Structure 1
Amino acid sequence: MEREAMDFDVVIVGGGPAGLSAAIRLRQLSIESGHEISVCVVEKGSEFGAHILSGAVIEPRAMDELFPDWKAEGAPLNTAVTRDEVHFLVSPEKAILTPHWAIPKPMHNDGNYIVSLGNVVRWLAEKAEALEVNLFPGFAAAEILYDDKGAVKGIATGDMGVGKNGEQKGSYTPGYELLAKYTLFAEGCRGHLGKMLISHYKLDQDADPQHYGLGIKELWEIDPAKHEAGLVLHGAGWPLSESGSTGGWWMYHAEDNQVSLGLITDLSYSNPYVSPFDEMQRLKHHPVLKQYLEGGKRISYGARAVVKGGLNSLPKLTFPGGLLIGDDAGFLNFSKIKGSHTAMKSGMLAAEGLFEALKAGRTGGDEVTEYVTKFEASWLYEELYKSRNFGAAMHRMGTLMGAAYNFVEQNLFNGKLPFNIHDTTPDYKTLDLASFHQPIAYPKPDGKISFDKLSSVFISNTNHEEDQPVHLTLGDPSIPLKKNLKLYAEPAQRYCPAGVYEIVEKAGEQLFQINAQNCVHCKTCDIKDPSQNINWVVPEGGGGPNYPNM
């Protein structure tokens, strides 16, 4: 069957904070000026917000600009931060509470709000629909379309109704071609098409390698007597310190007696026996967190990679026919542990640059450098510049020395020390050989505070059509057993937070098994595989997690 095609002025891939903010700003400018601009947003989740997972504490700066009356308009920013605590966990039982004056400035949360980012995105989708943005949830952008000059001319959504072996089933429906003068890519961290574009146009040749963390999150309903709406806790140290790894945890007291808690494990870790999921489970038994969780109920679970390279790792943002925005480019400010306001602002700046190009009569295929000019003149650039060394300092110096450096740079010099710290080793190259380490004996889950992977994936509401091609593809199927197992004890078994990868025995033979049905679309395998042999591609639209209130 031939694919049907639809034409728009702008197609946006990804319905998160960046993509929706870009769509909304474009339509606002279109309506204000009377210059009609048609905009389409395609989103692989079953609904807008279904795949959104974040802490989240949101800084409302970008929201203030996009919707100055957002409070009156009902934006779901309901819980203002009232108090901050930062703990350094010394051991399984001990912790040091950091004095407020010693916390790096970017981590202060005065004026911020504890939110469900998924619900914020659902609200933004409603606002976009009211502005006549064409919204297509449940359609995965599977292919970049190029014109005969090599410029991006749009995307194609994935075919539906294709069986495991590639055959067309009775339900087969070909994908759609969504053609545009300009295409924005806003897929979030380690976007499938964004990764292709960065490689195709060599957009990262002048940047440091991008760096990542794996964020694992749980949502709990706790005893009202232990709940303090607006309380924000952050911390570092144990348990990651035991394996020489780095990262940090959070616990946010949201509305309705719910707390969001999670652990970000930097994917630069070197011990191949580290399991971020199991580190998260034992973290919860520390008294600082356990005091709130005892007697409570876990109601949701999820995981997502976090981009953390900052300004030094930003690729070139423009290419013929399109732009990278949000975490497809890497705009998260890791010093604040926040990316929603930066993603939104990047989308708004892209929209303003595109509006100028379209109003001037440009018909696509060129580079919209106005976006870069606006970015470099914005508070977004200034914010990322001040925090450019934060993550690299933690990687290069370790948790304690890195924290001390960041206190000096952020609190005493306001992020303006006259040098850059570079971290030029990609995360997938940091693993030691397994022979240098001993396996880690993680405690068994108790079913009350800590849990196993499969029961966790169950409450993420993850589902994929089983009879479809596996969306976790191997460049060389022999590498997991012949190389990764021998050298690194096949770390995919442990870095995946959803139990997707297993070494199993059948008829006396070892097999590398991929349980793609479990995949929560975190992208960790695509990032951390030491052989860069795993390539995450989109499954059928609508597949994956369905996060409520996350």
Structure 2
Amino acid sequence: MERESMEFDVVIVGAGPSGLSAACRIMQLAQESEQEITVCVVEKGSEVGAHILSGAVLEPRALDELFPDWQSMGAPVNSKVTEDTFYFYTSQQSAIKLPGFAIPKPTHNDGNYIVSMGNVCRWLAEQAEGLGVEIYPGFTAAEILYHEDGSVKGIATGEMGVSAEGEQKDSFVPSMELHAKYTLFAEGCRGHLGKQLIEQFNLSEGKDPQHYGIGIKEIWEIPADQHEEGKVIHGIGWPLSESGSSGGAFLYHADNNQVYIGLITDLSYSNPHVSPYEEFQRWKHHPETAKYLQGGTRIAYGARAIAKGGLNSLPKMHFPGGLIIGCDAGTLNSVKIKGNHTAMKSGMIAAETIVAALQTESPASDLVDFETAMKNSWLHEELYTTRNFSGFMHKFGSLIGAAFVWIDQSIFGGKLPFTVHDTTPDHAALKPAAQCKKITYPKPDNTLSFDRLSSVFLSNTNHEEDQPCHLRLKDSTIPLAQNLPMYDEPAQRYCPAGVYEIVEDSDGKRFQINAQNCVHCKTCDIKDPAQNITWVTPEGFGGPNYPNM
């Protein structure tokens, strides 16, 4: 069937911080130069913000540049950081509060804000639409389209109303092609099209493999006398140190008596018995965490992978016909544990490069000028000075690695005369289960800790049940024949939504995929030791529906 098509100057995949910042900046520059530019943004979530999950403490540097009057314009950026605390959790019951001088300088949060990035993105979308951008939520970018010369032509949206057997249902809606002079891929961490582009154009040649963490977050409403709006708490150590893992925890006091809490577990862990979800549940019982949550109510849950390899893992971001920007490429500053301001800046640089190209009589297909603009920006400077973070932490562990990071950042300003590389992909870090300590996690008490299914319920996750499974196995025999005997099938534990199960019945064991539960975190696509699971986009509108994450 020949698909209908629409033509734009720029198509942007993903209505997150990078994509929306790019859209806004393109239209600002178009107005300034009295140039007519058409921009379309496609977003797989049911609405803008539905799939946005971030801590988040926002550094407003990029926002200041994009909309200098954002405060008077009503941006949902209100809770200024008033206190910055860092703990080293030494055990299940104790913690050491570290003095300010012991924390690497870039991690201090003076002038930053505690925000819901979902709400910030909703606001950015309003500004973009006001500038003339067309935004289509509920439409997935399912396929990359190419010209005959191999350059990117645009994307095709996903079909809707197809049964699990591949047959068209009464609700069938065909896919549509969106053609553009330039296509920006801003899908967030481990974007499924970005992943294809990196391979297609060999964009990671000469780079370290990308490294990831899985961030699990909850929002709690707590008693007013336990709430300290503007207080920021970060910590490392227990419980991850006990399981031989690394990462860190956060607890942010937002407005309206709410706290945003979460745990990031580095996906470079080696023990296949580790469950990032259960580690997070354990951390909530630490006295320094529980004292804020006691008597409170959990109101939201979600999970998302983050790309934290930094500059050493950052692929070339330009290719014929477009750019990969934001966390789709991996622009997060891993020392600051912040990726929103860097994602926004990458989108703004992309916008400036594209508008300049469109002003020429014969726009270049490959936006090579982006690379120069990127290297001349504060974004590149940030990523350069934090390039050693992953190498230090992965090679030396949380305690010694953190000491090296402090020396690098606080004494040398990130300008040590050498670069530490980590060339082991996260999926290759697992050791055989027989060589590792088995971990028995406590049962949830349903007061501070909870099971996966009740958590998924709070994420408002939903998929049309009768549709093709969006979690594809390259070889259906690998989970039972290879991963189970070697690694005790770690998908049962690394997935924070209970998607993967080993089920045993009268017919024996089978590997079950509960795709309906998927919160689109992408951890399975990253951590599966055989690289056997590929996440592809489900029908539009599917997945979580985060209200304020």
Tell me if both proteins adopt one fold, taking TM over 0.5 as the criterion.
Answer: yes
Q: Does 1:303 align with 2:303?
A: yes
2:350 aligned partner: 350
3-state SS of paired residue (2:395): helix
What's the CA shift string for 1:443-469, capped at 9, x where partnerless? 000000000000000000000000000
3-state SS of paired residue (2:215): strand
Query: 1:418-437 maps to which residues of 2 (within 5 A)?
Result: 418-437=417-436
1:132 aligned partner: 132
- Mapped partners of 1:255, 1:2: distance in 2: 51
1:445 aligned partner: 444
Sequence identity of aligned pairs in percent?
A: 66
2:227 aligned partner: 227
Offset of residue 506 of structure 1: 2.8
- Mapped partners of 1:421, 1:161: distance in 2: 49
Q: Does 1:485 align with 2:480?
A: no
Q: Gaps (5+ residues) in structure 1? A: none
- Mapped partners of 2:130, 2:35: distance in 1: 18
- Mapped partners of 2:392, 2:438: distance in 1: 28
1:147 aligned partner: 147
What's the CA shift string for 1:367-410, capped at 9, x where partnerless? 10111111100000011111110121111111111111111111
1:5 aligned partner: 5
Query: 1:13-412 maps to which residues of 2 (within 5 A)?
Result: 13-363=13-363, 366-412=365-411
3-state SS of paired residue (1:252): strand
- Mapped partners of 1:311, 1:151: distance in 2: 26
3-state SS of paired residue (1:262): strand
- Mapped partners of 2:378, 2:437: distance in 1: 47
Do the aligned residues in 2 keep the contact of 1:154 with 1:180 (CA within 8 Å)? yes
- Using the TM superposition, name which of 278-287 and 502-511 deviates more: 502-511
1:459 aligned partner: 458
3-state SS of paired residue (1:236): strand
- Mapped partners of 1:362, 1:409: distance in 2: 46
- Mapped partners of 2:200, 2:481: distance in 1: 30
AA matched with 1:511:
R
- Mapped partners of 2:71, 2:207: distance in 1: 39
Offset of residue 362 of structure 1: 3.1
3-state SS of paired residue (1:409): helix
Do the aligned residues in 2 keep the contact of 1:311 with 1:384 (CA within 8 Å)? yes
3-state SS of paired residue (1:455): helix
Offset of residue 475 of structure 1: 0.1
- Mapped partners of 1:58, 1:361: distance in 2: 39
AA matched with 1:441:
T
AA matched with 1:456:
S
Do the aligned residues in 2 keep the contact of 1:83 with 1:232 (CA within 8 Å)? yes
3-state SS of paired residue (2:154): strand
Q: 1:405 to 1:438 in 2, by over 3 A?
A: closer
Offset of residue 508 of structure 1: 3.5
1:531 aligned partner: 530
- Mapped partners of 2:507, 2:173: distance in 1: 41
Moved over 6 A (4+): none
AA matched with 2:339:
G
- Mapped partners of 1:283, 1:544: distance in 2: 27
3-state SS of paired residue (1:327): helix
- Mapped partners of 1:389, 1:483: distance in 2: 34
AA matched with 1:338:
K
AA matched with 2:409:
Q
Offset of residue 437 of structure 1: 1.8
AA matched with 2:257:
N
Q: CA RMSD in A?
A: 0.7
- Mapped partners of 1:345, 1:361: distance in 2: 27
1:514 aligned partner: 513
TM-score normalised to structure 1 length: 0.99
1:475 aligned partner: 474
Offset of residue 439 of structure 1: 2.2
AA matched with 1:404:
A
3-state SS of paired residue (1:502): strand
- Mapped partners of 2:64, 2:127: distance in 1: 14
Offset of residue 244 of structure 1: 0.7
What's the CA shift string for 1:257-277, capped at 9, x where partnerless? 000000000000000000000
Do the aligned residues in 2 keep the contact of 1:354 with 1:370 (CA within 8 Å)? no
TM-score normalised to structure 2 length: 0.99
AA matched with 1:399:
S
Offset of residue 438 of structure 1: 3.3
Do the aligned residues in 2 keep the contact of 1:2 with 1:174 (CA within 8 Å)? no
